[in-house]
Amino acid sequence: MKPTYRLVSCCTILGTVPSLISVSIRVHSPRARIFPLAGLTLIIMREFHPPVLSLRGLWGESVSSSALDVAAARFDVAMRTHGVLYIEDCGLSDELVSRLRRKAVQFFQTGKIDKSDSDTYGAEGYTGIGRETVGTSHTNQVATRDIVESLVLFSADSVACPDELRDDVRQYLQHSKRISLLLVRLMAHALNEPKVIDMFDGEEYPLKIAHYPAAVSGTQGYGAHTDYGSFTLLAQEYGDAFPAQGSLQAFVDNTWCVVPPRKGALLVNSADLIERLTNGVYKTPLHRVVLAENRTQSRLSIVLFTAPKRNVKVAPLEKCCSKLSPAKYEPVIAHEFVQRKLQRNNGIATSLAS
């Protein structure tokens, strides 16, 4: 089958033509193309559709060995190939996600936000627009500041959690942490490394609600980066906001590709500590968020970042190493590694074990 491409921008001398933006086409072009046509400039990018994994039948203590084998094998292939997949039947209702998204947008647009301590990202609470430079975490060089504001919450009972979001945040954290531990179980089963499960406890996973306002000019929602911990669970914006207001893009096969949202699914990607743990067997995808130049609506994403226990030493597993593929990474302490990456995100260049 020919790859799918997405018309991500259509510009004239009058600006963007929003009615054309959601068109999908199939062409032979190997990468993004810019076509001048009858006064229009069409920017077309390849779409990347990750594999889909259903979690149905994988909950509880009485999971059949055959179901676990099949799910772990599919998970393993996805992680080895590009490090990203969609998951379905994961226990998060569309109603909960939509309600949390709607209330969060209202909070950012009309809520009373305490901006007194928003200079750096990483701690719990609000981070203001332009405070993050996530591209620096990847290159350790000065990067363009990101056009995003966010609310980071470790618990629904935190003083940083707005009252109107508290109940929905509690439910979302409860379900998403359960999902994250199941993903660890699939990884352990696929690698035949049951001890990996003990490296994770599902605690202190930050929930990040990222808001990309329409009123701020510029197109860099987030610069190119990899995530820091173990697995990232992303609830993408679905519907009219894609791709009219912007899109998540991943660097796949040496090409930037649009990663479209899938209704009712979460997008899961591997992060740096998993790549280190598996000695590069599981890939960590380079990705970014690109906003539409003339967007008329804000964009919002709900993200859970997971990581091993704070003081766990992360080193390449013996089963992922061989004479032909010796250990590529020095051991690191999980929390210290993530903190160094966060310092880079905040524009502070640091040394980091390679």
- pLDDT digits over 186-201, tens only? 999 999 999 999 999 8
In a 13 Å sphere around the CA of 136, the CA atoms on its Cβ side amount to 21
DSSP at 47: B
User: Would you state the pLDDT for residue 116?
Assistant: 56
Report strand pairing: 84-88 vs 52-54: parallel
Per the model's pLDDT, the better-predicted residue between 83 and 141 turns out to be 83
The answer to whether the CB of 273 falls within 8 A of the CB of 229 is: yes
* pTM assigned to the model: 0.86
User: Would you state the pLDDT for residue 6?
Assistant: 55
- pLDDT digits over 14-73, tens only? 333 333 333 444 444 444 454 555 555 556 778 999 999 999 999 987 889 999 999 999
User: Would you state the pLDDT for residue 114?
Assistant: 66
| Mean pLDDT within 130-140 | 83
| Mean pLDDT within 197-216 | 89
User: Would you state the pLDDT for residue 8?
Assistant: 53
| Close Cβ partners of 242 (under 8 Å, ≥ 6 residues apart) | 22, 236, 260, 261
| Close Cβ partners of 284 (under 8 Å, ≥ 6 residues apart) | 83, 226, 227, 269, 270, 271, 272, 274, 275
- pLDDT digits over 335-351, tens only? 999 999 888 777 653 33
- pLDDT digits over 282-335, tens only? 999 999 999 988 888 888 999 999 999 999 999 999 999 999 999 999 999 999
pLDDT band at 135 (very low <50, low <70, confident <90, very high): confident
User: Would you state the pLDDT for residue 195?
Assistant: 93
User: Would you state the pLDDT for residue 242?
Assistant: 56
H or E segment and range at residue 312: none
| Mean pLDDT within 154-165 | 94
Q: Where are the domains of the chain?
A: 1-47, 50-345
Gap between the Cα atoms of 240 and 34, Å rounded: 23
50-345 has CATH 2.60.120.330 classification: yes
The answer to whether the CB of 82 falls within 8 A of the CB of 51 is: no
DSSP three-state, residue 4 = strand
Which of 73-87, 113-127, 165-179 bottoms out in mean pLDDT, i.e. has the lowest? Answer: 113-127
- pLDDT digits over 236-295, tens only? 986 555 565 678 999 999 999 999 999 999 999 999 999 999 999 999 999 999 998 888
At 113, list the tokens: 């936000």
Residue 79 CB-density burial (10 A; 0-12 exposed, 13-18 middle, 19+ buried): buried
User: Would you state the pLDDT for residue 143?
Assistant: 76
Per the model's pLDDT, the better-predicted residue between 79 and 201 turns out to be 79
